[in-house]
């Protein structure tokens, strides 16, 4: 499950290894990953064959490769997606979905391959999307983005009545925060995920954002070194998980701060983990204002 730090590692690897390459051939092995492309698999291949890749960019967990005609290949790794740069004679991966044969600047013929077991992810051609694909203009910047507006985020967060975990996962407020990092940021801040946004103090909101940024930054620092190889090969198994998680996945284990067993509750068809002592369940909003 690639979180934002892993996606950024993929982006950096793609920028380094496919920029300047020309797409000689496109092979779509499964329709689902190109479902968002209106022209279907054949249109997808036709629109990309012969194009030159100009770089690799990212907004939240979306990636795009600007092309020489102003379009872009827009992609999302979903839950299990990988973008691999492989020598052309590498045997097909079990879940290989799309293969781009590259003719390029580096010696040796290489493929760019989209591999995805569960196919929540996908690729599409974004017309005119080289600068910023119109399909993702609603996606907010992420906390590691230098242009992320802290004050605007804090102000918006504090106007919303939803629980703050739901808000952390709202891509129009902030991107790149998944279930794991949301739980970790809340644990560090000592906030329960069901506390309404409009019941946070400004200081709490600022601290929460800071902690989200710290968690993601630490993961990026660790992941960024281990994947700096010749080929982009990120499988989502971040070594960061085992070492540094305080809440996520630790049901019944003692809280690293106070020793109280971590609890797990269902939330949005998934799980939330929290310390019931450090992150007390908020009192219900009173009926009258």
Return the beta strands (E) in the chain as ranges. 22-28, 57-59, 62-66, 72-76, 81-87, 96-103, 110-116, 122-126, 263-267, 270-274
**Whole-number minimum distance, CB 27 to DNA, in Å?**
18
42 and 107 in contact (C-beta within 8 Å)?
no
Annotated catalytic residue within 51, 57, 59, 61: 61
Q: Under the criterion CB under 7 A, does residue 200 sit at the interface with DNA? A: no
Where helices occur in the chain by DSSP H, the ranges are: 4-18, 40-48, 150-157, 164-168, 179-189, 202-226, 240-244
**Dist. CA 51–CA 258, nearest whole Å:** 57
Does position 92 interact with DNA (CB under 7 A)? The reply is: no
Does the footprint of DNA cover residue 139 (CB under 7 A)? yes
* Helix, strand, or coil (residue 281): coil
Q: Among the options 159, 243, 270, 283, which is catalytic?
A: 270
CA 73, chain centre distance (Å): 17
φ, ψ at 98 (rounded to 5°): -140, 135
Residue 153 binds to DNA (criterion: CB under 7 A): no
Q: Residue 159, exposed/middle/buried by CB under 10 A (0-12, 13-18, 19+)? A: exposed
Q: How far is the CB of 50 from DNA (least distance, A)?
A: 28
271 touching DNA, by CB under 7 A: yes
Alpha-carbon distance of 114 to 256, in angstroms, equals 39
CA distances 200 to 118, 152, 193, 273, Å, are 37, 15, 11, 20
Rounded to a whole number of angstroms, the minimum distance from the CB of residue 270 to DNA is: 4
Q: Is 119 near DNA (CB under 7 A)?
A: yes
φ and ψ at residue 145, rounded to 5 degrees: -70, 125
Query: How many residues form the binding site for DNA (CB under 7 A)?
Result: 35
Q: Which x/- pattern, by CB under 7 A, does the window 54-83 give for DNA?
A: ------xxx-------------x-xx----
- The residues with which 66 forms a beta bridge, in sequence order, are 72
CB of 139 to DNA, least distance (A): 7
Examine the residue annotation and report whether 270 is marked as an active-site residue of this protein: yes
**Measured distance CA(235)–CA(82) in Å, rounded:** 6
- Under the binding rule (CB under 7 A), the answer on residue 171 touching DNA is yes
- Estimate to the nearest angstrom the gap between the alpha carbon of 41 and the chain centroid: 25
- 27 carries an active-site annotation: no
Q: Does 117 bind DNA (CB under 7 A)?
A: yes
118 near DNA, rule: CB under 7 A:
yes
In the residue annotation, 61 being an active-site residue is answered as yes
> Taking the complex as a whole, how short is the minimal distance between the CB of residue 221 and DNA, in angstroms?
20
Residue from the set 95, 141, 199, 277 that interacts with DNA by CB under 7 A: 95
Nearer to DNA, 16 or 166 (CB): 166
227 binds DNA (CB under 7 A): no
Contact between 175 and DNA by CB under 7 A: the answer reads: yes
Residue 97 engages DNA in binding (rule: CB under 7 A): no
Question: Which pairing describes strands 122-126 and 263-267: parallel, antiparallel, or unpaired?
Answer: unpaired
Chain contacts with DNA (rule: CB under 7 A): 1, 3, 32, 60-62, 76, 78-79, 95, 117-120, 135-136, 138-139, 160-163, 166, 169, 171, 175, 178-180, 248, 264, 268-271
Residues forming the active site: 2-3, 61, 270
């Amino acid at each position: 499950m690639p979180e934002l730090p892993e996606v950024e590692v993929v982006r950096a690897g793609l920028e380094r290894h496919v920029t300047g390459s020309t797409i000689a051939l496109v092979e779509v092995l499964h329709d689902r990953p190109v479902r968002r492309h209106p022209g279907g698999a054949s249109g997808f291949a036709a629109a990309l064959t012969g194009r030159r890749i100009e770089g690799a960019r990212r907004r939240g967990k979306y990636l795009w490769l600007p092309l020489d005609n102003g379009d872009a290949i827009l992609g999302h790794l979903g839950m299990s997606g990988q973008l691999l740069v492989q020598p052309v004679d590498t045997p097909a991966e079990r879940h290989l979905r799309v293969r781009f044969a590259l003719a390029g600047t580096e010696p040796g013929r290489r493929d760019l391959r989209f591999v995805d077991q569960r196919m929540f992810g996908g690729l599409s051609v974004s017309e005119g999307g080289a600068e910023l694909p119109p399909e993702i203009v609603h996606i907010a910047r992420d906390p590691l983005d230098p242009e992320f507006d802290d004050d605007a985020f804090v102000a918006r967060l504090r106007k919303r009545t939803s629980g703050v975990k739901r808000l952390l996962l709202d891509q129009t407020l902030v991107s790149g925060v998944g279930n794991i990092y949301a739980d970790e940021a809340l644990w560090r801040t000592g906030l329960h995920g069901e506390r309404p946004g409009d019941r946070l103090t400004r200081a709490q909101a600022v601290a929460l954002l800071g902690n989200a940024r710290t968690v993601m930054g630490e993961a990026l620092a660790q992941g960024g070194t281990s994947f700096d190889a010749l080929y982009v090969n990120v499988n989502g198994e971040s070594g960061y998980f085992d070492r540094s998680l305080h809440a996520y996945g630790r049901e019944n284990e003692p809280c690293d701060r106070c020793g109280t067993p971590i609890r797990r509750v269902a939330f949005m068809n998934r799980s939330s983990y929290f310390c019931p002592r450090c992150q007390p369940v908020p009192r219900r909003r009173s009926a009258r204002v």
